[in-house]
Chain A
């Protein structure tokens, strides 16, 4: 019996690499952030569903993900077992940091999740609706201070787009960038700023407990279970989604690309991934292949335009 066990273990160990690929996922950020959580959730799902044998997560933090991107593009070229997690923040960071490596240098596989932006004010704010906020913005753009995440990130871009849609000069917006980790939320709760903007999940429990007032969300249609109107309903033609994606290394053959895409699709459809989405409150915005590449190109050019208009990119 013992021998049989050992034999089957060895056989199993030898059979594994043939049956399922091993993956190394690069999370281009520190442990704890959204990309890191995405990478680690992928690790769990890929392993639990036996889509991959051994999955490792490696953190390569820095500069909005552009350090990890550059390292991935150069060191993993041609490696079908290497994956990179990225997202919309990376698109902005590539532009503002003048990164020598762009998303053209890797092989985007699929968009996995997305989160819409939420615009909030402190409960005691005199601004009751998005309309009130836009009026204040039109009257004196500088008097409306917005607390959000890093400069040039999704939050900043969304504020620029809102100003533009409202007919206000985007260079005049008074955006106060806070480092992550809830510092922006503290400034909003402490009534230090006029309004706050971030992913809806960051504000959810505060909105539910009534300490923050949710004015609008940046989705195309109303989010299920969220009462606030969309920006579009408020007459501002702005849809912003902070999406996250997975990319493969450059220089793969068509078969290798297809194999990675198939593995990711299997993962996205799996029960454990769907469960993760639910517990983390991530929207499933799965989009793969050419449709994703097309959307990505659109996002990149739109982002470049607005960053130039805000004045962050020359």
Chain B
């Protein structure tokens, strides 16, 4: 049977009424846990594993797939409306999304996130079906040195998204690096900067830092302004739906986000965050409206949201083809497979084609269901912003705190939440961007570990970092991305650059 026939057969399995019901339950649950910060899809699937023990394999895996995709969808909602990222992959969404929401454009922001997620999920799932074996071969070529080069590229491109002052952006980034050092060093097992506090041995949780910096810091900032602060939040201005211009500005970022997110998600050490960073940086470079970035540019929502959903599908590539779980949720789905005596891996496509194709088909259906479920909700969600400010921010504070305790019931974690909230507040007052702190915390340890692994394998010979063709290409792109704007700026004081951006279609 050809791939296409398998897929049709899979769709027939997924379209059975019971399986459709499981998919619906999955996407609804997934959206709910995505909206709540702290409770991620991994925990939800873990809790449901014993329940699904009695279902048939296809039914439960279909439900898990729905939860997985739903979580990625739901994460954007709180990011956009409340500036409180539900999970680390939606941190970038908050940058432009929340600015849009405050200008009364929350509706279009949510819509572009939902439709972008749908488009990305659709393309990436089809990619999963047809090019998974190829993608996984490419992903396996990535060893420590290639990952390190990719991180360098990520740093360089992301730094462009750090606001107006390079110095301030770098300062923030290095605060993130400093925080990233805390905890047990992966490669030697030794504790660093934990000061004998056992709670610090595992380092600083990304979601705790992100929720603290964004949500708590913001709340303190608004509260400090008191009644004197200008009431900037407008619930709805213009249409709740996307205008023609919004569509025109969104569709390319959706596609580019998918192209960036899918392969990076498929890499065993890629993850969802890096794709969103790279997508944001790309959109900022290519946009015709650079002045809107930082003030609520729709491209900055469309691209990263597509990227994080595409990477969710990408994660399933190594899971299904190699049996490699690369995220916590994938690890639990693997446990789900094993529960039925199935061993994902190179043989799964051959030994259980019905199941694999049923899963892929149900991902397509879950994706469609999510769109149907989420678009009508947009009108309801934006009403949240009409809640009076003191109530709204009290609610955000409650949500942030609950989410943190939900993820890790520890007094110390709450203390960290508050401390980082204060740090976020101070940085806001002094005009330092806060996103680079979170970026530093995510990318810092990855870059460090991969560099050290590469050097350990080569027994200390640094030339190994440049001798791989992929690493060399990535490093060259990074160098160009760093140098070219500097030259352009020196020659035309920025005019050339903005002209370039304007003339580029």
A interface residues, Cβ below 8 angstroms from B: 30-33, 36-37, 40, 43-44, 59, 61-64, 66-67, 70, 96-100, 142-143, 145, 150-153, 156, 174, 176-183, 185-187, 189-190, 192-193, 204-206, 208-209, 211, 278-281, 312
Known: A182-B322, A205-B345, A206-B345. 7 other contacts (CB 8 A): A33-B331, A63-B201, A143-B459, A145-B456, A151-B186, A182-B318, A209-B346
CB distance B189 to A312 under 8 Å?
yes
A96 touches which of B45, B144, B186, B189 (Cβ 8 Å):
B189
A63 touches which of B139, B142, B184, B457 (Cβ 8 Å):
B184
CA distance A186 to B139 in the complex (A): 9
CB distance A211 to B189 under 8 Å?
no
CA distance A176 to B329 in the complex (A): 25
CB distance B459 to A32 under 8 Å?
no
CA distance A145 to B464 in the complex (A): 15
Q: How far is the CB of B356 from chain A (nearest CB, A)?
A: 14
Residue of A nearest to B338 (CB): A280
Q: List 13 A-B contacts (CB under 8 A).
A: A31-B328, A44-B53, A97-B184, A97-B191, A145-B457, A153-B189, A181-B330, A183-B269, A189-B322, A205-B348, A206-B323, A278-B341, A279-B340
CB distance A174 to B459 under 8 Å?
yes
Contacts A177-B187, A279-B340 hold; do A190 and B142 have CB atoms under 8 A apart? yes
CA distance A181 to B329 in the complex (A): 10
Contacts of A177 in B (CB 8 A): 186-189
Residue of B nearest to A278 (CB): B341
CA distance A32 to B456 in the complex (A): 29
Residue of A nearest to B199 (CB): A67
CB distance B142 to A31 under 8 Å?
no
Contacts of A192 in B (CB 8 A): 143-144, 457
B224 in the interface, Cβ–Cβ < 8 Å? no
CB distance A186 to B322 under 8 Å?
yes
Interface size on B, residues (CB 8 A): 56
CA distance A204 to B343 in the complex (A): 9
| 3 tightest Cβ-Cβ pairs between the two chains A and B | A205-B345, A151-B189, A182-B324
CB distance B331 to A209 under 8 Å?
no
Q: How far is the CB of A100 from chain B (nearest CB, A)?
A: 8
Residue of B nearest to A193 (CB): B457
CA distance A242 to B42 in the complex (A): 25
Contacts of A189 in B (CB 8 A): 140, 322
CB distance A44 to B50 under 8 Å?
yes
B104 in the interface, Cβ–Cβ < 8 Å? no
CB distance A190 to B143 under 8 Å?
yes
Most buried by A among B189, B328, B459: B189
CB distance A66 to B201 under 8 Å?
yes
CB distance A312 to B201 under 8 Å?
no
Contacts A96-B190, A209-B346 hold; do A37 and B323 have CB atoms under 8 A apart? no
Contacts of B346 in A (CB 8 A): 205-206, 209, 211
Q: How far is the CB of B443 from chain A (nearest CB, A)?
A: 15
Q: Tell me the B428-470 residues at the A interface (CB within 8 Å).
A: 453, 456-457, 459
B143 touches which of A30, A43, A180, A187 (Cβ 8 Å):
A187
CA distance A156 to B188 in the complex (A): 10
Residue of A nearest to B143 (CB): A192
Contacts A97-B201, A182-B324 hold; do A37 and B335 have CB atoms under 8 A apart? yes
Most buried by B among A36, A40, A181: A181
